[in-house]
Every structure is written in structure tokens, then in C-alpha cells.
Structure 1
Amino acid sequence: MTAKPSIRVAAAPISWGVCEVPGWGRVLDAPTVLGEMAELGVTATELGPPGYLPREPAELKTLLGGHGLRLIGGFLAVVLHENPEAALAEAEDSAALFAACGAEVLVLAAATGLEGYDERPALSEAEWSTLISTAGKIRDLAAAHGLKTVLHPHVGTHAETQAEVERFLADSDLPLCLDTGHLLIGGTDPVELARKFPERVGHLHLKDVRGELAEAVRAGKLPYAEAVGRGLYVPLGEGDVDIEAMVRFVHEAGYDGWYVLEQDTALDERSPVDLPKRDVATSLAHLGEIVSRLG
């Protein structure tokens, strides 16, 4: 009898509306978020934005352990194209914390230096070169802590469009965090990117998006944060990303990393208190059905 395939599934606080962007929305407290992860059967999570969870390793491990959770790593949006020393200091702080908690991956994004993700100043050739160099230095720094670094193409950063993503892949040897939602919004088919560069898939963020809102963001007709508030992200299987094709392809290509359910959510005072938990439950069920069909 052939054993059923299994994958490593994790969650992230952003699915509960916890975001570093000022004015993003209502932020649920950590015991609520971690407790709901546990109730859904999730056993691993990314860290979430700076300051949301404790930065002292023993305190963080105790908090997560009380909910049956382990830390797998976290997202670090840092300015890479100027002041490399400041970027390295910020990365060192996160890498040391992740390593002390037994995490595996540092998810790096090329921040613009502006608040939020609605504007993107153009980079000069020299700034792009600094970005590539700084990313490599952070990769080496994190490796000294036993961590893998992946570059996260992300709306409102300096690696957003298909041309930028492919330029990064050509100029750097860092693997990517393939975020199915952010890639699609930026104009890249995530499945085709994975097919073209299977050896560069280092981490997965699974999310689904509504295509018409993604197109509005891409065309500059709708600010990113406003689109999120309008329901840009939906549970897996309810949007326009071919999640099954992505999961099937990376699985068959030998990917053995984490599949992080990460549906960017913005809550307001009218949002049902159980909305995030219901949406993540829907995504978990859809992912389970996909995995059950894998050969």
C-alpha cells in the first residue's frame, strides 16, 4: 500500500490581520491568534511583524509552546539598496532570534524605505547593485546562524514585477519565497515561475486572490492596502490562482520546505471576530484535498 503524501503546513499572523503597516486595521491579541491556530490543528507559524510577539527567545518559545506551536522563521522587510550596515544589523537581530527558537528560514523583502506598500521609487543601477550585494551579505549572516534566506517578491517592494524578479534571479543566488498572491499581483504567473526556476524555490506562501482586484492594483488604479480591505485575498480555492497546479508542481519537483498559509487580511470594527479562523479553516481544507490527490 502506497503511503499518502504529506507536506509541512504552517500559518502566519497576517492571516488574522496582524500587519506592520500603520493604520492597516484592527489587530487581534496574540493569545487569540495563537489559540485559534492551535484549534485549527496548525503546529507551526511564522513570527509576524516586529513587536507583535516577544523578541526574547525564552519568552517566545514559552508562549508558542503553550499553544503547541513551533517557530519556522519570519518576514523581514528591510531597505537593501542603501546603508548596508543598518540592514545587516536589523537582519542580525532577527536571525539570532529565529535561530535561538529553532527556526529555519529568514524571509527577506527589499523594502523601499517608505511606509506601506502603495508607492515604489525607482532604483538607480548603483542602488540595485547595492541591493543585490546586501541581500548576499544577509544570506551569509543568516547561514552563520543555521538559517536559509529567501527573497520574497512582494507588492510595493523593489522586487515586484516579473522583470524585477527574473533580474534578481539572474543577479543573485538567493532562492525565492514563492508567494502565489504577490507574484500574481505583480504580473508573474507563480506556477510558470516555479516551472522555469524549480531549483530556486526555497519557501512557499500560499494565498489566493481575486483577479479583478489584482489587475486594478497592477494597473495603478487601486492602492494595495485599499484592495486588501476590499477583499483582494480570499481563502484557497475561492480566487484566481491555480493553487493545485502550484502545489502539484513543487511537490513533484521535490520541494520539501514549508507551505505557509498566508492570506493577508485587514480587519475593521465591522469584521466578524471569527472571520480569520473561518477563512484559514477553509484554506486548510482545500489544501488537504489537493494533497490527497497528489500521487
Structure 2
Amino acid sequence: MSTASIPSSGDRRPVADRVAGAPISWGVCEVPGWGFQLEPDTVLRQMRELGLSATEFGPDGFLPDDPQAKAATLAGHGLKAVGQFVPVILHDPGHDPLPEVERAMEGLVAAQASTVVIAAATGQEGYDDRPVLDDSGWSALLGNLDRITDAAAAHGLVATLHPHVGTMIESGEETERVLTGSRVGLCLDTGHLLIGGGDPVAIAQSNPGRIVHTHLKDVRVDWARRVRSGDVTYTEAVAGGMYVPLGEGDVDISAIVAALEGSGYAGWYVLEQDTILTGPPAAGGPDPVADVRASIAHLLAVAGDPSTAGA
């Protein structure tokens, strides 16, 4: 795996300086019909007021398309760029995902970000269903991940694969096959792995050297089981409250952070609490600011960091 741009443990900053936001915690999502979408100025202003110093880009259309304008928008709010979630089709031998990834990387380089976060898209809208990969599909997917890894390194970026519910790579078993069969780094998404039937603690403990980016989520396992059984769709579970602030669900955030920090992890912790809003936040409904504030406080507490970073 390429190690371009991965900070070493020797220059590792405190955890409080490696906490980033993500627009999905404010309900901003690439899925059509996901829910009410807040304006970028509101989301970015609230991130900064919470003490966050960086964010991922969010879906296409959230920030300006022009790479320089994208970077300028974040800088205007006092935020740095961390990376971008890029869902692309990797498993189709007749489809080349590199042009799409290259366009995303232009914006990342302009904003001096470090990470391109790849998800193995199904080619269908949403995350409620997915086909099954055959041997040809696996071969194409793993080969494309290595091609993307090399292209990212050529831009001074790090490529990671994000296991994600409703994509071609969602489970712990599929994640292990990616780690064994390719050189790409891993974006450890603690929520999606649990929902997909994996064990995020075990992966953090057994593969710390491959984890170069982290999406911290907490989920209620009762909802996760209903998604796996087919009793509800992923979208229905999100709307029902499957994702909760760190420390209020069933993911052992403390064990994951301990495993990563103990191995010398120097990357970002991106706070992601997938949220669906039905309108502007109001009393009695989801409150992204309160939820992110609670997650920051919990992360710093389990990391043993005395800083409040706005919590």
C-alpha cells in the first residue's frame, strides 16, 4: 500500500486536533430524496462554532464544483479539507472509474486535503439493495482499487476503501478480502461495519497498519439487526434513529480509539452520524449541533484528551 501523505506517529497531533466533521451529520447526503438539505453556510458555520477545524467535502453540489472555489469556501469558514466520499462503480470490467476519481482528486489537491474515500457503488440509487459479486466482478474491483491507490499517490493523496451498507463491500468478510487482495488503505467506518455484520473493534485491533482514515459512528444494534434481516431498509433505519451520538449506541468507541492510538494512528477521526431531516432542526426533532457536540465530548473523554474542542 502506498504511504504517500500518511502522517507518521512521530509527528502525531493530539486527538482534539484530528477531529473533523461531515455534512451527513447535518442530513446532507447524495441520495435523491434523502431529506431536507441544509444550506452549506449553515452547516459550515455550525461546524466551526463547535470547534471543528476540518471537514470532508460532502456530496457533489454541496460545495462549488470548481476546485479553487471549493477550497475558498471552506477557508472562508476557517475549515480545512480532510477528504471526500466518492462512490464509484469498481466491479464492472467494462467501466473505468478512474476519470471520476481523478475529478474528485482535483478538488482535494486544491484544498490541500489528504484522503480520497472510495465506496464500491452498485450502480443503483440509494443503499437499500445490492447485487452479489462474482469472480469476474471481484477481480475488476480489486484491480481498480490498486489503480486508484497508485493514481492517488501520484497526486500526493491517500486512497482508502470505505465499507458501506448497500455497496459491493459492506461486511467484515468482504473488507478482509479487500485487505488481502489489494493495496488500498482502509477507511474504518465503525457504524457501517457493524450494520453489515462485521466487528469494527476486531478490524481495528487486527489491521491497524492498513487503517489510514476513520469515520466514527455509533449505532443501535437492534436497528442494525433489522437491516440485516431485511425487516427494514437502511433508509428506514436511519430515519428511525439507528445512528446516535458517540457513546449512546452499541459500538465500543473506546476500544477502537485505544487500538488505533496504541498502534500509532495519526489520521483523522471524522464524526459521522447519518441523519435524515424532515425540515429545519426544531424542538423535538434531530438536533445536529447537540449530537455532534455530544460526540466530540465522548471522543475526547475516551481518548483521555482534556481539551473540549468546543464540546
Query: What is the TM-score normalised by the length of structure 1?
Result: 0.95
State the Cα deviation string for residues 270-292 of structure 1 (Å, max 9, x = none): 85277111110111111121122
Q: Alignment partner of 2:178: what SS?
A: helix
1:53-109 superposed Cα distances (whole Å, 9 cap, x missing partner): 112122122211111101111100000011565411100000111011100000001
Gaps of at least 5 residues in structure 2 are 1-12, 307-311
Determine if the alignment matches structure 1 residue 142 to structure 2 residue 163.
no
Matching of residue 76 in structure 1 with residue 105 in structure 2: no
- Aligned residue in 1 for 2:309: none
- 1:40-189 to 2 correspondence within 5 Å? 40-82=50-92, 86-189=96-199
> Residue in 1 aligned with 2:205?
195
Out of 247, 257, 260, the residue aligned to residue 247 of structure 1 is 257
Are residue 276 (structure 1) and residue 288 (structure 2) matched?
yes
Asked if structure 2 preserves the Cα contact closer than 8 Å seen for 1:7 and 1:259, the reply is no
State the SS of the aligned residue for 1:34.
helix
- Retained in 2: the 8 A contact 1:6–1:291? no
Cα RMSD, aligned residues only: 1.7
User: Once the two structures are aligned, what percentage of the paired residues are identical?
Assistant: 52
Distance in 2, matches of 1:202 and 1:84, equals: 30
For the residues of structure 2 that align with 1:23 and 1:232, how far apart are their CA atoms? 18
Q: Could you list the per-position Cα deviations for residues 176-213 of structure 1 after superposition, in whole angstroms to 9, with x for gaps in the alignment?
A: 10001001001111111111112111110001001100
Which deviates the most, 280-289 or 56-65?
56-65
Partner of 2:300: 288
CA deviations 1:137-165 (Å, max 9, x no partner) are: 11111111110000001100111112211
Normalised to the residue count of structure 2, the TM-score between the two structures is 0.90
Give SS of 2:97's match. helix
Unaligned residue ranges in structure 1 (runs of 5+): none
> For this pair of structures, how many residues does the alignment match?
292
Contact 2:128–2:234, Cα closer than 8 Å, also in 1? yes
- Report the 3-state secondary structure (helix = DSSP H, G, I; strand = E; otherwise coil) of the residue aligned with 1:123: coil
Asked if the contact 1:4/1:292 (under 8 Å) is kept, the reply is: no
